[in-house]
């Protein structure tokens, strides 16, 4: 058990760490989080490890709490591992003795504390405000759901968007920017960098691949293997490596048996769902009005951030169409439920809102004489199927508007589509 002196040392050092943390690029999502501060509910920030949750806390602490009116605890600190939730009063008493009475708690990586929801609920009922972060969607929703049903709002923190990436590079975007030749060239140059490096904040600053490798390793070991007591980590790695090297390709659980030494379909489902729960990746299904057919259809696997593809995947990415597709998916996945379309032809993405298909999107590196008919046919078929007047064909650099009867296909570079 930690002594009073040890607890105070931890609290003082952690507060110094968050106060000394660089403010960084102000995140777009900050406005959404700010709008929840006046609500009584617990604000839950979830997302992949190192995607910027702690920096977001720093920005909130500086802007709204004047670097003063708050308590901060980081449960990623190994000295607090296995800290019993029942002893939270000890932490609170030491915080009061050090900093006086405050009404707001910032709790980082809270999922590392078993039964954390018990003290959050107790202090919440006493009028305290909580902003907490975590790296596991299911664990947080499961724990919070038991004690804090209806008392929390959840916000997902993702890696930098292209706009945030440009801010990091000192490029300010306005309505006129994309029409100026000089800035257009600069934006396109930065897009090529963003396409490969992705948006993980620390990696963009220090460009050391080990940073992304460490995020992946911590995700696999700490967030999955340890938490779910998986003993055969080698098989887990084998599966994830296969999926990483075949991202954006269709697969079925039965087809995985040919490559991975797992015989149970349920085990495949569990292992893949664990990776999704950490926000590292996402699988999508073929669109069908029948939910049963959706479940039974082949899946497609996408990685949360393109930076991981270059560092972890052995997939040949000279054809940057793979990277474009992965990037477009992650952008769509922020706001929509996403499916792929498969009929006589195929279309990369359908976006659904309120159970209605509202967009059909095809992605390719370059539209040329060899692939033009194929790419267009899949998009047109999807547009006809769902009675869409407009469809998008996203490319590296081409731009044109194509009319086919009453339907319109907008061919637009991915970088410009992202800015829109």
Supply the pLDDT for residue 137: 73
Nearest to 393 by CA among 409, 407, 405, 380: 409
**pLDDT tens digits along 2-19:** 899 999 999 999 999 999
What's the average model confidence in pLDDT over 334-353?
Answer: 96
Q: Is the pLDDT of residue 299 over 90?
A: yes
CA distance 372 to 370: 6
What's the average model confidence in pLDDT over 98-107?
Answer: 97
Q: How confident is the model at residue 84 (pLDDT cuts 50, 70, 90)?
A: confident
What's the average model confidence in pLDDT over 167-186?
Answer: 81
Supply the pLDDT for residue 115: 82
Average pLDDT, the chain: 92
Residues 6+ apart with CB under 8 A from 144: 42, 44, 117, 120, 151, 152
Written as six digits, the tokens of 198 are 């992705």
Supply the pLDDT for residue 139: 61
Supply the pLDDT for residue 136: 78
CA atoms lying within 13 Å on the CB side of residue 342 = 13
Q: Is the pLDDT of residue 179 over 70?
A: no
Q: How confident is the model at residue 138 (pLDDT cuts 50, 70, 90)?
A: low
Supply the pLDDT for residue 317: 53
Residues 6+ apart with CB under 8 A from 166: 172, 173, 187, 190
Q: Is the pLDDT of residue 318 over 60?
A: no
What's the average model confidence in pLDDT over 267-277?
Answer: 96
Written as six digits, the tokens of 235 are 């098989």
**pLDDT tens digits along 190-237:** 999 999 999 999 999 999 999 999 999 999 999 999 989 999 999 999
What's the average model confidence in pLDDT over 371-385?
Answer: 95
Query: What global pTM score does this model have?
Result: 0.93
**pLDDT tens digits along 32-63:** 999 999 999 999 999 999 999 999 999 999 99
Supply the pLDDT for residue 403: 94
What's the average model confidence in pLDDT over 128-146?
Answer: 79
- Hey, which CATH number is domain 4-156, 3.40.50.300, 2.40.70.10, 3.30.420.10, 3.40.50.720? 3.40.50.300
Q: Is the pLDDT of residue 304 over 60?
A: yes
Percent helix, percent strand, percent coil in the chain, to nearest 5: 50, 20, 35
Q: Is the pLDDT of residue 146 over 80?
A: no
* Planar angle of CA 272, 341, 247, nearest 5 degrees: 35
What's the average model confidence in pLDDT over 85-103?
Answer: 94
Distances in Å between the Cα of 231 and the Cα atoms of 102, 208, 275 are 43, 30, 16
């Amino acid at each position: 058990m930690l002594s009073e002196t040890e607890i105070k040392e931890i609290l003082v050092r952690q507060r110094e760490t968050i106060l000394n943390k660089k403010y960084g690029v102000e995140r777009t999502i900050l406005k959404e989080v700010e709008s929840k501060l006046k609500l009584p509910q617990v604000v839950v920030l979830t997302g992949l490890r190192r995607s910027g949750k702690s920096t977001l806390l720093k920005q909130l602490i500086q802007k709204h709490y004047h670097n003063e009116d708050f308590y901060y605890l980081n449960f990623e600190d190994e000295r607090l591992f296995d800290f019993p939730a029942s002893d939270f009063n000890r932490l609170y008493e030491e915080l009061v003795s050090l900093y006086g009475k405050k009404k707001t708690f910032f709790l980082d990586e809270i999922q590392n504390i078993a039964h954390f929801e018990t003290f959050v609920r107790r202090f919440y009922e006493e009028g305290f405000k909580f902003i907490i972060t975590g790296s596991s969607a299911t664990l947080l929703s499961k724990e919070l759901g038991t004690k804090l049903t209806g008392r929390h709002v959840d916000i997902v923190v993702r890696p930098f968007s292209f706009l945030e990436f440009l801010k990091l590079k000192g490029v300010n975007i306005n309505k006129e920017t994309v029409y100026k030749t000089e800035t257009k060239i600069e934006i396109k140059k930065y897009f090529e960098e963003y396409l490969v490096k992705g948006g993980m904040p620390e990696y963009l600053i220090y460009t050391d691949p080990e940073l992304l490798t460490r995020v992946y390793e911590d995700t696999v070991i700490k967030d999955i293997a340890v938490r779910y007591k998986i003993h055969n980590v080698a098989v887990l790695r084998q599966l994830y490596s296969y999926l990483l090297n075949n991202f954006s390709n269709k697969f079925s659980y039965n087809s995985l048996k040919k490559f991975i030494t797992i015989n149970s379909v349920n085990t495949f489902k569990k292992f893949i769902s664990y990776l999704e729960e950490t926000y590292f990746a996402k699988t999508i299904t073929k669109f069908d009005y029948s939910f049963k057919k959706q479940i039974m259809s082949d899946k497609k696997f996408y990685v949360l951030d393109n930076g991981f593809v270059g560092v972890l995947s052995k997939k040949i990415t000279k054809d940057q169409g793979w990277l474009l597709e992965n990037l477009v998916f992650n952008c769509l996945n922020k706001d929509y439920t996403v499916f792929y379309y498969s009929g006589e032809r195929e279309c990369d993405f359908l976006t659904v809102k309120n159970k209605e298909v509202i967009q059909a999107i095809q992605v390719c590196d370059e539209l040329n004489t060899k692939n033009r008919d194929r790419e267009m046919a899949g998009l047109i078929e999807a547009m006809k199927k769902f009675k869409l007047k407009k469809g998008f064909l996203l490319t590296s650099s081409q731009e044109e508007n194509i009319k086919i009867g009453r339907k319109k296909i907008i061919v637009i570079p991915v970088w410009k589509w992202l800015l829109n």
